[in-house]
Structure 1
Amino acid sequence: MFKDYNTNQLILPLDLEVKLQKNDIAFSIHQLVESIPHIAFDSFFRQTGCPAYHPRMMLKIILCGYTQSVFSGRKIEDLVKDSIRMMWLAQGYEPSYRTINRFRVHPEMKELIRQCFIQFRCQLVQEKVIDQEAIFIDGTKIEANANKFTFVWKKSVEKYHTSLVEKSNQLYNELLEKQIIPEMTRENDEQLSLEELAQLAEKIEEVVEDYTEKMEKSSDANERKQWRKERKTPKQLLKQVKEWIVRKHKYQKDFEIFGTRNSYSKTDQDATFMRMKDDYMKNGQLKPGYNLQVASEGQYTLAYGIFSNPTDTKTLTPFLDQIQEQYFSLPEYIVADAGYGSEQNYEDILTKRQRTPLITYGHYMKEQKKKYKTDPFKTNNWLYDQISDTYTCPNQQAVTYKYTSTRTDSTGFKRTFKIYECEDCASCPFRMSCTKGKEGTNRLLRINEKWEQQKEHIRAKLSEEKAGSIYRQRKVDVEPIFGFLKANLGFTRFSVRGKSKVENDIGLALMAVNLRKYAVRM
């Protein structure tokens, strides 16, 4: 006996919501998008033309597609026709892949994604899933949708630009000496600008035209041959100067694209070449990518940022600014690993933001080991006399203060060092173990008092029971997000180009990770 099955009989369609399970992820997506204020969708409204699909519906089906590890517009279009949850979210509409792709890279989409994160965090706070006591920050690098061999390096451009400047200056001086061209009014004595190179080309072209005119007027074959011979050199110079104009224009454009970066990709100019952990080529080759920074709590992403700088140290301050301006007020504790530990970051969090940084520094773990604490050659273990401002080295020699030095990094941040010098290292039996300096020189000790005070503050904070337990939670809070994103969701490479589009792409993917985790606990 079988259950009734007849494809020729008409069956009335029921509401698709009935067919979904109570904890289906579609309900979580629906609830989240419906909580976004109406004003966030006003920018999508148009008075003229064919009525557009509602942005709430479009956002729901894209989010649903991302939760199912579907990032292609064509495949999302197919899901709308095949998947029950997608049919319910779309309510019978079937937008094309072009409409889907245009919507998710729309400039106003960034505000919708931001509202998603704000509303999702409010939902977590109401349900007491997070306590808002600390945020955990970490970063990962994701490969850009760009060719691996379209790199442009800043050092190479600077090298070729310097060579061009030297050659153009040399040519200009030679033409002046030979009185081939008159002297020009220059804005900068060091190099010729694009306008000045264009003027130089005009002057040389006048010389070429003058020779050409003389050739045309002359009826003597030998004389024309002589004029043609003399015209050859300025004609070659004219061709060279025009080539320089094209190259200089290209170099200036390259410098604008570089900004503070050292490289960029020709196929995605916002991408920077970085060293990836997922090195599938197994050769350590740099690949174009973006630095993704995430702030989390309870293994949920609460805020994110995309940066072109490959180092985490310089991204912390702008990322915290972005969190405060766009997402929420910072909690008491800012937790991150040693990659973010620097004097500038500590000063920013302690002084400017009045928060507590639970961020270790480079040698924090080594300093906790017994071997480090008992090593007589570590300067942290040297005796210090505060009255005389001197250190005592392992050979019982006095290391006295000499002068103060100030260093300024690429961002303009200044660090102050006190320089100490040992009395005599010439006959020291411990010289080989104590210093790598040249023979005949004494050991120099550079002490950054502000940095040492900050490190002492961090050590004291992390030794507290509460702060220590919060810091130990970091590994199990923020790092699993990257595992879910790359391993479970399968998001290992961007599918769009340009920083603004990449921000939308990764924002949808991170929210999809949040929704999958949230739906499981329902």
Structure 2
Amino acid sequence: MNEDSKALYHELVTNKIIPEIKEDHDNELTKEEIDLIGSHLDKEIEDLNQHINNEKCTKTRKQIRLKRTKIKKYKKQINDYFERKYRYEFQKSILKDRNSYSKTDHDATFMRMKEDHMKNGQLKPGYNLQIATNSQFVLSYNVYQNPTDTRTMIPFLNSIQETYGHLPEYIVADAGYGSESNYKAIIDDFNRTPLITYGMFIKDKTKKYKSDIFNTQNWNYDEINDEFICPNNKRLGFKRYAYRHDKYGYKRDFKLYECDDC
């Protein structure tokens, strides 16, 4: 829609149907700018109506009507863009940082449920319920819009700390909560010990995984020279440090190794 509305705006300005209303033509039109274009077109249609009423020449009146028809077509397009722009902005305000919401319950997010009778991964609107326990007693609970357990751990721990004033010495959870950002936050921010397996923990223990010669985790490592040795007996030396931001903005640090003889 953004490209179509910009193209229409350029056409209207080029044909001198409306005045230029924005300096930067590359940016998308705002809702207010689209509304202003519609107002200019309304004024143009009103002027043409007045011109038709005052014109005596039949041929000229016909030409003016043709022009008015074209302007009305533009106005219809602008109205459509405005309605869609308004709807999209309204939907984005509901979504926030999510990628879905229920039309009947805007706070609910579509998630894959454990109850999947059709076995087709059907998504249903719901909430992610988090429960903290100790010796089978429920200490705290909260509901979240995010379907991923990994993303709920830190806000959940914050809510527990705000409620009780402190956290247990050990934070125990299953692999669904294992991530670098969670480990780092529990150790550095909460000053606690995480007892959480990582997502690949079970797979790492399998014979197939351990015997895969192309898996870099299985390569020999020269600790003194900081080099890995590949199955072709080539050495991959340390080159530089690097980092990458994930889609949530978390910064991950890496060490890059390269082979000079490949």
Coarse TM-score class (shorter-chain normalised): over 0.9
**Whole-Å Cα distance in 1 between the matches of residues 97 and 139 of structure 2?**
28
**Whole-Å Cα distance in 1 between the matches of residues 29 and 202 of structure 2?**
54
In structure 2, runs of 5+ residues without a counterpart are none
* Identical positions, percent: 50
Superposed CA offset, 1:235-269 (max 9, x none): 11112111211110110111111111111111111
Superposed counterparts of 1:327-366, under 5 Å: 327-366=164-203
- Tell me the equivalent position of 1:266: 103
- Tell me the equivalent position of 1:39: none
Root-mean-square deviation (Å): 1.9
User: For the structure 1 residues 396 and 176, does the alpha-carbon distance in structure 2 shift closer, same or farther, using more than 3 Å as the test?
Assistant: same
- Tell me the equivalent position of 2:126: 289
Q: 2:37 aligns with which of 186, 192, 200?
A: 200
Shift of 1:380: 2.7
Please report the TM-score for the alignment, with normalisation by the length of structure 2: 0.92
- Tell me the equivalent position of 1:240: 77
| SS across alignment from 1:263 | coil
Would you say the 8 A contact 1:275–1:287 is kept in 2?
yes
Shift of 1:370: 5.5
1:306 matched to 2:143? yes
- Tell me the equivalent position of 1:392: 229
**Whole-Å Cα distance in 1 between the matches of residues 119 and 214 of structure 2?**
38
| SS across alignment from 1:219 | coil
Q: 1:184 aligns with which of 21, 24, 31?
A: 21
Shift of 1:421: 2.2
- Tell me the equivalent position of 2:248: 411
What letter corresponds to residue 187 of structure 2 in structure 1? L
Superposed CA offset, 1:474-504 (max 9, x none): xxxxxxxxxxxxxxxxxxxxxxxxxxxxxxx
Shift of 1:376: 4.2
- Tell me the equivalent position of 2:220: 383
Task: Answer with 1 or 2: which has the greater Rg.
Answer: 1
| SS across alignment from 2:240 | strand
1:168 matched to 2:1? no
What letter corresponds to residue 294 of structure 1 in structure 2? I
- Tell me the equivalent position of 1:220: 57
Shift of 1:307: 0.8
Query: Which of structures 1 and 2 has the larger relative contact order (alpha carbons within 8 angstroms, sep 6+)?
Result: 1
What letter corresponds to residue 215 of structure 1 in structure 2? I
- Tell me the equivalent position of 1:9: none
| SS across alignment from 2:16 | coil
Shift of 1:416: 1.2
Shift of 1:397: 1.0
In structure 1, runs of 5+ residues without a counterpart are 1-163, 426-522
Please report the TM-score for the alignment, with normalisation by the length of structure 1: 0.48
Report the structure, 1 or 2, having the larger helix content: 1
| SS across alignment from 2:7 | helix
Query: What is the aligned residue count?
Result: 262
What letter corresponds to residue 109 of structure 2 in structure 1? T
